[in-house]
Every structure is written in C-alpha cells, then in structure tokens.
A and B are shown apart, each in its own frame.
Chain A
C-alpha cells in the first residue's frame, strides 16, 4: 500500500532548452508532481533572469486591479464562473489591457472634466440663489428702514440691520466703493474661515453665510460635503487681495456675482441651461463607461487566471539557473520516482511543440539531503493523513501512522461515543455532505462548516463505528433493544414483575451479541458496565501501544538501525508486556474462566511482595513463578534501554572518527589544523553527554509513560460512561418525565427539549470531546512510541493550488 511509507523521491536535474522553458514549466504545473528548488535564493528580485517579465505581469495585475476597482465603483461584479481559456497569450493580453486601460482612463478623465464643470455650475447656481435672496431681502429691509429714517432721523443701529445698505443709505456722500466676494466654503471650515478673516482684516469686513441644506460635490476633490454660501463685503484693494488669499487657503471657491437684478436673472437662466446640457453629456459618458466595464468584466476572470498562471511560471523560471551560453536553463527539484516517466513524457512533448532542436535532459542527482515527504492520498485518506500531519510531517520514508489511523481513530472515538442512535444521526449528516460533495466543494463555506465538510469521511467512519459499538453496548438513545434475540435472563418465579429487583436467573443461552438488554436499569448495571469498559480500555490501550512499538521496529529495520532494534525495541517490548501485557492476559483469562480473582490485588502485590502466596487470587498454575520472572525481566529492561545505546553510538562514532583523524594527521603538521581537530573532538565529546541525557530522558519517559499511558487509555471508559449516563439522564428525566404528565403540550415541550439536548450536548459537544480525546490518544499515547515527525511536506508546483492572493 502506498500509504505505509511516503513515496520514494529523487532529486532531479533538468536541463531545459530556453525556447521550451516556458511551456515545460507550464506543463509541469498542470501535472503538479515536481517541487522546484530555488537556485537563486540570494539574488535580488530585479537581477533574476525573467525580472522584466515579472515586472510586466505586475504591471498587468495592476491594470486588472484598476479594472476591478472601477467595476466595484460602478457596481458591476465580474462573473465568477470558471471560464474557459481565452486563447490569449501574454503579449496579446498585454496589448489589449493597455488599450483598455487607456480607453478607460480617457473616459474617466473626460467624465471628470465634465463633472468638474458640472459641480462648479451647481455651486454657482447655489451662490446665485442664496446671494440673490440675501441681496433682495437686504434691499427690502433697507427700503423699509430708509422710510423709517425719513420719519425719525435718529441713527439707530441694531445687529440685524444690513450693514451695507445702511452705509449706503446714511452716508451716500462718501461714495466708498464697497466690493464683495461670494462663494462656497465647506461647513466645518466656516468658523475658522470667519475667524481668520476677522483677524486678517481687523474686523473690517462683513461676512454673511447661508447654509446649503444638501450635500454639494466639491469640484476639486469630487467628495460630497456640506457647504455654506458666503458673501464678504470689504473696502479697499489690499483687503481684497488678502481675502482672496484666505479664500484660496481655505479651499473656498469664489464665483462672480452681479448686484444688478437683470444680469442676475440672465446668468441664472444661462447656468441652468448649461447644467441641463452637461447632465445629458455626463449620463452618456457614464453609459459608455459602464458598457466598457461590462465588456471587461465578462473576460476579467479568465484574464486573471491567465495572469496568475503566468506569474507563477515566471516565479518558477526565476528559480532556475541560466547557464553561461544562455541557451538552456538548469532546474533542480524533487519528484516521486514513480512520476519520472510522466514528467519525461511531458517535457518531451513541450520540446517537440516548441520545435526545440535538443530535448530536455532529465538527470537524477545523488544527494544526502533529506527528501520531502509525499503521500498519494485521495478524498478518503487525505483527511486521516491530515490528522497525522497536524502533529508533524512524517520523516522521509518513516512508517506512516496515517494508515492505522483510518481504523483506530474512528474506533477509539466510537468506544467513547457508543450509541447507535447517535451514530445514525451522525451518519445522516455526513452522508448529506458526501452525496452533495461536488456541489458543496465548489461553494464557499463558513469556518465551522468547512471543517465538518473537510472531515466528512472521518465523520462517516466515526458514525459507522459508533453504530457498531452502540450495538455492542446495546444503547439507542440509552434505550436497550432486544435486536439479537430475547434476553438470557428471566424471573425465578412468575410473581416478580419488576425486573430491576434481584432474583433473575439465566433461562436461555447467552445473549449472542453485545450487552444483554436486561442489564439496563438494574442495580448492578453500573458495576458491570464499568468493569467491562475499564478492562476493554486497557486491552485496547495495550494493543495500540504494542502496535506503536512494533512500528518502531519496522522503522529501525527499514533504516538499518540495529542498535534501535536490540537496545530500544526489544527492552521496550519486554517492559511493556511484562507489566501491562501480563495484565491484559490476566483480564482475558479472568473473562474466559469466570474466576473471582482480584486483579488489582494481583498487580499491586506483584510489585510489593512478589514472593507472597497468591491465595484465592491465583488464576493459573505457576502464576507466582511466572510473575517473579516477569518482574525481573521488567527490571532488567530498564537499564538495558538506558545504557547500551549511547555507549554503542559513541563507539560507532569513534570508529568512524578514527579514520578521519589519521588522515588529518597525515595531511600536514599544521598547528592550526591539529588545533581545529582537537576542537572537533571536544565538540564530539560534548555531544556524547547530550546523547546520554537524551537517552536518559527517553528511558524515564518510556518507563513512566508505560504506566501513565495505560492509565490514560482509561479515558475511553470514562467518556463512554459519561456519554451513556448523560443520554440516559436526558431520556429518563426529560422525555419519560414529560410523557408521564399525560399532557400534549408538556409532551411537545419535553420532546423539543430532548431533541435540543441530544443534538447540542450529545451530538455536538460530546462528539467534539470524544474527537479530541481520540486525537490525544493517537498523538501522544500511540505516536510517541515511534513517530519522529520531523520531515517536510512535498509541495509541488501546481496551478490548482494558486490562491486568490497570487492574482489580484
């Protein structure tokens, strides 16, 4: 099977003729089986061979970003359907994009110009309206006041009297020419504007402002802002220049205004007419623009895809070495040995199509570098492999726990989640995902849904196994069923109606599969199930840990490491099995013989006083002698694990090192060299202590771990107990209680509460916690026996894995 060990890989050198390079890379990207090594890591981006093409791609993506932004502004969304290849190549696309960009920019510039004029005219119109109003009201006031003045010639100043007209009226002889400036200023700036005006002219101006109710588009920036119309009256040229400067500084647009009514009217009509004209022109421009954008939007996705591909191809091309003659490119990278033929075929095809005179040379390199880890996975296995990868990527060709995980993971989960009713619920959910797989995978899902969808096959396996264990536990939402025939137990005499009381006797053959339904609800139900599940957990745990240690044997054998076999695998096997393997044997013997022996007692006194008589706890003949032997074996195994390996490693190293030091001595009497040599030796000496400490830690971890890991497997029992108790609580205290009231409404409420609790607590939360515990059992208790997990993943160059960020 492919999954047992990662694919054998090879480091390959490709010499690609330069004319076929682009196409070759493109084909390799489609194939997605070649991981390129970056041969130009220390070159800065602009020194690379294909820097100019990368620049061009960058420029084109910028254009596409511009289009996208414009489309967003115009409210056109590009069609997201997967578009077919547009048949364009990069050069044509570049020309086309440039044309379109120029056109779009021109339209935009025209529109902007028109909009600018339009906004100015709108503002002008506002000024005309507001200032006109002001002038006419001031005139009316002035006329009225003059009449008053004629009646009573005492000059009376009040704040709301119009200053200008009054001056005009009271001292007409002086003929002071009062000028005025009118315009618009944005509202938030109006107060500082007024303040600065006041300060700059020492109060010798009259400012009148009127609020414009709606937003006005500023002609310069195009933003919509609140504005005030103002008129400033002043006298003198110096003040005028000052005011104009201040107006400029505040971004206040000035507009000419005439105080003659006739001219005002004429200007008003003129402005309104031009506004209407401009409006139609602008609308036509906008329509033109949106048709252009729609045209762009239609092909946007395919261009984007093409650019993404091109960019990634050039990124790869930049990783390659160009040789001196500039006729071919040198690529290095990893590929699975099994894919070599495919790759060669594709490369040949590429060179043929490009009419290249020489073919691509495919050459396998010898290397000491650790190759990447690659597993051929499919839809089903990939999520299980993911569980293992989340802990650490397997070392190259290391035994892959992923294979065993496919069965053991859902099984351990199911041990904790044993209820075939709940299992069926899970199965239905996951079947929905699996059946609609194709439809859902093309959609964008939320975070949580994505996770559930990604693990759909895991959930399916978990559901199947929990149906299986549920049948063994005989639980269906905590209700027992007599599925496999009638119960084996019956009343001793017809008078006992209540099956929970004592006095049941075995009337038939043993219930054929799983737990007898009669156990449910009896007083001895819990002690019985606890004893069953606890022992089962230990059996499962010991066997899984044994599997882990055996895998470490296969690893050692595969990598030819005899020290690990004899001084790690063997003592570990002996230690674990002489203690907990023996316990498992005792459990099975007890089950088979129906003995009353107390296993706790046996295990504890095996350590405390191994020579004592076992008494009634004896399960088989010669048990005492057997136990003492096992104990001695376990005691021997500990130093065996600890001591030989580091010393053997040291010896091995010294043997290898000896040759080196001889050759170095021969090579020269250089004091420098011998010095460096001694440093070298010191370094190695130092490493020995490190190895020894490491081995010490490893041994302690294993010895303590054998106890604690076995205890850790008891979580299987604990969680399964919690699950069944919770579900029986919901069934008894909610559903049956509601049933007891004989009231439809109470019953409906009860059913709703029951369903919510079942789904929320049992199906979601309990399954999550069981999932986590199963995960832990795999990562810690199982994988720490053998798994190194310090490899790195094979990440081939592939077009399908290009993400959105690569493009826009």
Chain B
C-alpha cells in the first residue's frame, strides 16, 4: 500500500471517507458552542441542537429533559454513524473500525466488574455502559469472582481475549486489581492496535502511530500521576506503560521513579511536543492537565483530516465526536445545575 494509496484507496475506502468527512463537517463549531453556553434551560439546548445533526435524535423527546437523555441521544447518533460505516466497510477497514471500539469494551468490562464488586444492580450498570463497547455476554461479567474466572467465563469469546495473557491471576478482584487490569488491557490493546496500523502501512500507519503514541504517552502520564502515593511498586508501574510512544523507552524509566507531579512535569518538558501543554499550567497543578491533554488531542485529531487516503480519519472522527458529547454533557450539566460560570472549565472547542 505504501505510496500508492491515491491510486487504489477509493476503490474500497472512497465512499466511507466521503461519509466520514461529511460527518466531520457536522461537528459543532465554536459559534455553536458559544450559543450553547448562553442557554438558560435544557430545552434551549434541545432547541439549538435541533438545527444540528442531533436534531432528528432529540425531536421526539418530551419536554422536561434530563442531561442523561441528551447525552444518550447524542451517543446514539455516534453509534448510528459508526454502525453505518461498519456495515459499509470492507477489510481491512472493518477491522480497523472494530479496533476503535475495543477501548470502550475494556472500559465497560471494568465498569461492570467494579460495579458488581460494589453490589450494584447489573441492569443499572448495563445502562451506564458505552454502547460502542457492548458485546453479547457482557452481563455475565457479574458472575466472575476473579481474573481467571473473568477470562474463562466471558472474555475468552471476545476480541479482548488475547490482551488478557498478561493479567490472569487467581487473586480475588478488588479495586486496585481492577485498575491494574484495565491498564494492562489498555496497554496490550494499544500495542496491538499500533502493530495493526503499522501493518496497514502508508499514511494510515504514519498518522495513526502519531495519534496512538500520544494516547500511550497520555496514559503513561496519567498512570504515573494516579499511582503516586499508592502501593504500586516502580516495577509494576513501569510494566503498565505501553512499549511505544515518545516516552519509550527512556521517558518511561524516568516516569517510573517520579514521586510528585512536578517531577512528572520535569520529565515531560524534555519532550518538545509536550512543552506547550505545560506552558499554560502553573507548577503543582494537575487539575487542568486533563483539559490540556484533551485540547492537544483534539488538535491532533483535527490535523488527521488534512491528509487524504488513510484510515486515521475514522479514528479521529470517532474521538472528536466523543469529545463533543463530553462537551455537551458538561454544558448541559452546568445549565441544569445553574453553574454557568463554570461552563468554560471543561469545554474543548473542536474547531
């Protein structure tokens, strides 16, 4: 495929690329967000969204709206888009699209397992799951008592099975375990996805490796920050980092020994692409780091649309839409709870 995408890409991927670019132009713009931020009630938000691509999904909702309904319907739109694209896709694009959902699958597995651990109702947990990460036997997760059972009972049938090879233990599940499991799974997933994209070659490999490297680095930083002050050993921490990305391998060595946020910062500032993230943050501040990361991510995803004839646009579109739904959720929550002064805290403008 190297170098000749322009010649043959459109045979199979042309239609879907057109579709995804169309979807992308339907993303909310800064003007939309400005208007949304001025809304007084959730009905205003609905009214504004009725002029966007979300319109048909919200129009049949009776009037007292809830934030969850808005988010649910907006997610439904994303899922519909995804399903339509998946239906139309041929190999290897269909596999690529499926890879995008594995992250949600991991999150869902963790959600259900944690929920059952805290004795929540399965049905209630299922409603909270992201619809993109659903698989047939997901509800059965509640039965499992430890990792081994989890794997043997349920996950062996799912695409996540190969990622489990690292974390099969007979220990009973607890919060710490689950969190480690999530990160181990994520690590395996990212590495697998990375390998898959490298195999595809061409612009896809080029752009996706950049996007995935960013994702891996972000996870590494998050793992480090979250594990500061916990009983996780340095070696264990080191093991959770994905084996690619800008930090690999020397950055990982340094991150593994970090003891506070400023040390993390010192490590990151050695890497020029991440310097800008910290430029806006003052020392010792970790609250705004998430937003800064999101902003950087959105920027990179938008850039993915600048090239043609590659699959990264699908990944980028899904991520952008998810970010948009997060924004909508935040705005609606702020509007619903009369906290409009905080609207701008967590909204990441996409365009």
Mask of A34-58 contacts with B, CB within 8 angstroms, 1/0 = 0000000000111100010011001
Contact: A51 with B136, CB < 8 Å?
A: no
Distance (Å) between the CB of A634 and the closest chain B CB? 52
Contact: A249 with B35, CB < 8 Å?
A: no
Contact: B47 with A55, CB < 8 Å?
A: yes
**Cβ contacts under 8 Å, B139 to chain A:** 248-251
Contact: A46 with B39, CB < 8 Å?
A: yes
* Contact residue among A51, A189, A200, A242 (Cβ-Cβ distance under 8 Å from B47): A51
Distance (Å) between the CB of A65 and the closest chain B CB? 7
Closest chain B residue to A242 by CB distance?
B143
From B22-30, B57-65, B202-210, B313-321, the one touching the partner chain is: B57-65
Contact: A249 with B143, CB < 8 Å?
A: yes
A51 to B48 CA separation, bound complex (whole angstroms)? 11
Interface residues of B in 36-69 (CB under 8 A from A): 38-40, 43-44, 47-48, 50-51, 59-63
What DSSP secondary structure best describes chain A's contact surface? helix
A196 to B149 CA separation, bound complex (whole angstroms)? 11
A782 to B252 CA separation, bound complex (whole angstroms)? 77
Say yes or no: is A246 at the interface (Cβ < 8 Å to chain B).
yes
**Cβ contacts under 8 Å, A106 to chain B:** none
Sort chain A's interface into a size bin: 20 to 34
Distance (Å) between the CB of B143 and the closest chain A CB? 5
Instruction: Knowing A62-B62, A196-B153, say if A246 contacts B140 (CB, 8 Å).
Output: yes
* Contact residue among A46, A62, A189 (Cβ-Cβ distance under 8 Å from B60): A62
Contact: A249 with B51, CB < 8 Å?
A: no
**Cβ contacts under 8 Å, B143 to chain A:** 196, 200, 242, 245-246, 249
Say yes or no: is A81 at the interface (Cβ < 8 Å to chain B).
no
Interface residues of A in 77-126 (CB under 8 A from B): none
Say yes or no: is B199 at the interface (Cβ < 8 Å to chain A).
no
Say yes or no: is B122 at the interface (Cβ < 8 Å to chain A).
yes
Say yes or no: is B275 at the interface (Cβ < 8 Å to chain A).
no
What DSSP secondary structure best describes chain B's contact surface? helix
* Contact residue among A46, A192, A245, A249 (Cβ-Cβ distance under 8 Å from B48): A46
Distance (Å) between the CB of B15 and the closest chain A CB? 26
**Cβ contacts under 8 Å, B154 to chain A:** 196
Interface residues of A in 509-566 (CB under 8 A from B): none
Mask of A6-48 contacts with B, CB within 8 angstroms, 1/0 = 0000000000000000000000000000000000000011110
Distance (Å) between the CB of B50 and the closest chain A CB? 7
Say yes or no: is A790 at the interface (Cβ < 8 Å to chain B).
no
Say yes or no: is B88 at the interface (Cβ < 8 Å to chain A).
no
Closest chain B residue to A45 by CB distance?
B47
A176 to B136 CA separation, bound complex (whole angstroms)? 35
A406 to B6 CA separation, bound complex (whole angstroms)? 51
* Contact residue among A47, A62, A65, A199 (Cβ-Cβ distance under 8 Å from B153): A199
Distance (Å) between the CB of B37 and the closest chain A CB? 10
Contact: A44 with B60, CB < 8 Å?
A: no
A18 to B35 CA separation, bound complex (whole angstroms)? 27
Contact: B48 with A45, CB < 8 Å?
A: yes
Contact: A196 with B137, CB < 8 Å?
A: yes
**Cβ contacts under 8 Å, B51 to chain A:** 45
Contact: B140 with A250, CB < 8 Å?
A: yes
**Cβ contacts under 8 Å, A51 to chain B:** 44, 47
Say yes or no: is A685 at the interface (Cβ < 8 Å to chain B).
no
* Contact residue among A55, A62, A249 (Cβ-Cβ distance under 8 Å from B137): A249
Distance (Å) between the CB of B290 and the closest chain A CB? 29
**Cβ contacts under 8 Å, A47 to chain B:** 38
Mask of A247-289 contacts with B, CB within 8 angstroms, 1/0 = 0111100000000000000000000000000000000000000
Mask of B268-290 contacts with A, CB within 8 angstroms, 1/0 = 00000000000000000000000
**Cβ contacts under 8 Å, A200 to chain B:** 140, 143, 149, 153
A246 to B140 CA separation, bound complex (whole angstroms)? 6
Contact: B122 with A249, CB < 8 Å?
A: yes
**Cβ contacts under 8 Å, A45 to chain B:** 47-48, 50-51
Say yes or no: is A613 at the interface (Cβ < 8 Å to chain B).
no
Say yes or no: is A687 at the interface (Cβ < 8 Å to chain B).
no
Instruction: Knowing A47-B38, A58-B47, say if A245 contacts B142 (CB, 8 Å).
Output: yes
Distance (Å) between the CB of B63 and the closest chain A CB? 5
Say yes or no: is A450 at the interface (Cβ < 8 Å to chain B).
no
**Cβ contacts under 8 Å, B195 to chain A:** none
Closest chain B residue to A202 by CB distance?
B152
**Which among A44, A62, A245, A250 has the greatest number of chain B C-beta atoms within 10 A?**
A44
Closest chain B residue to A54 by CB distance?
B47
A58 to B136 CA separation, bound complex (whole angstroms)? 38
Closest chain B residue to A241 by CB distance?
B143
**Cβ contacts under 8 Å, B142 to chain A:** 245, 248-249
Closest chain A residue to B39 by CB distance?
A46
**Which among A46, A54, A196, A250 has the greatest number of chain B C-beta atoms within 10 A?**
A46
Closest chain A residue to B139 by CB distance?
A249
**Cβ contacts under 8 Å, A249 to chain B:** 122, 137, 139-143
Distance (Å) between the CB of A502 and the closest chain B CB? 67
Contact: B35 with A44, CB < 8 Å?
A: yes
A59 to B60 CA separation, bound complex (whole angstroms)? 9
**Cβ contacts under 8 Å, A196 to chain B:** 137, 140, 143, 153-154
**Cβ contacts under 8 Å, A46 to chain B:** 35, 39-40, 43-44, 47-48
Closest chain B residue to A48 by CB distance?
B47
**Cβ contacts under 8 Å, B157 to chain A:** 192
Closest 4 interchain pairs by CB? Answer: A249-B139, A44-B35, A46-B44, A249-B140
Given contacts A46-B44, A65-B59, A248-B123, 6 further A-B contacts (CB under 8 A): A62-B61, A65-B60, A196-B137, A199-B152, A200-B149, A249-B140
28 contacts between A and B (CB under 8 A): A44-B38, A45-B48, A45-B50, A46-B35, A46-B39, A46-B40, A46-B43, A46-B44, A58-B59, A62-B60, A189-B136, A192-B137, A192-B157, A196-B137, A196-B154, A200-B143, A200-B153, A242-B143, A245-B140, A246-B140, A248-B122, A248-B142, A249-B122, A249-B139, A249-B140, A249-B141, A250-B139, A250-B140
Contact surface of B with A, Cβ cutoff 8 Å: 35, 38-40, 43-44, 47-48, 50-51, 59-63, 122-123, 136-137, 139-143, 149, 152-154, 157
